[in-house]
Amino acid sequence: MAIRNLRLEGDEILYKKSKEVENIDERIQTLIDDMIETMHKYNGVGLAGVQVGVLKRVIVIDLYDDKGPIVLINPKIIKTKGEQEVEEGCLSFPNRFAKVVRPAEVTAEYLDRDGKKVKIKAKELLAQAICHEFDHLEGEVFIDKIIPGTLEYVEPDEGEK
């Protein structure tokens, strides 16, 4: 496993659309392991392949609960319900936070890392994370959809970085 370099604001790759994964091979497994390690290193809740420079439809999410990291390959959002106004950040936009409107609930389908088809109904933070990361696969970033006037820059704590 290895920490990969994060692609940050201003990097054009963040605006590119990712491609479907055709084979969940060794390379993809390594990518997944590295993405999880990278997400944990920077205390992120989610990470998309494009954020480490790989335009593949792979997402990792960890809400730091008892479920552990979730891996979503080729995800599709098949239904959304309601709205929630939430505070959001992104590892590609360090120390910046803003409010966005996200669906309150989403139903998504994806392949897990073993290639098994999974359908989940998510709400609250998990729904938010799935939508945020799914946007990355489409070449969209949260900063372009924030509620105007809500952007904040938060200084990193001493010792963090």
Residues that bind Ni ion (CB under 5 A): 90
Closest distance of CB 91 from Ni ion, Å:
6
Quickly list DSSP for 75-122. EEEEEEES-EEEEEEETTEEEEEEEEEE-SEEEEEEE-TTS-EEEEEE
Q: Quick one: 42 or 121, whose CB is closer to Ni ion?
A: 42
Residue 23 Cβ vs Ni ion, minimum distance, rounded to whole Å: 26
Q: Which residues pair with 107 in a beta bridge?
A: 79, 121
Q: Which of 9, 26, 133, 140 is catalytic?
A: 133
- Report, in Å, the least distance between residue 42 CB and Ni ion: 11
28 or 131: CB nearest Ni ion: 131
In the residue annotation, 133 being an active-site residue is answered as yes
Cα separation of 28 and 15, whole Å? Answer: 21
Is 90 or 122 the residue whose CB approaches Ni ion more closely? 90
Q: Are 126 and 64 in contact (CB under 8 A)?
A: no
Catalytic residue annotation: 133
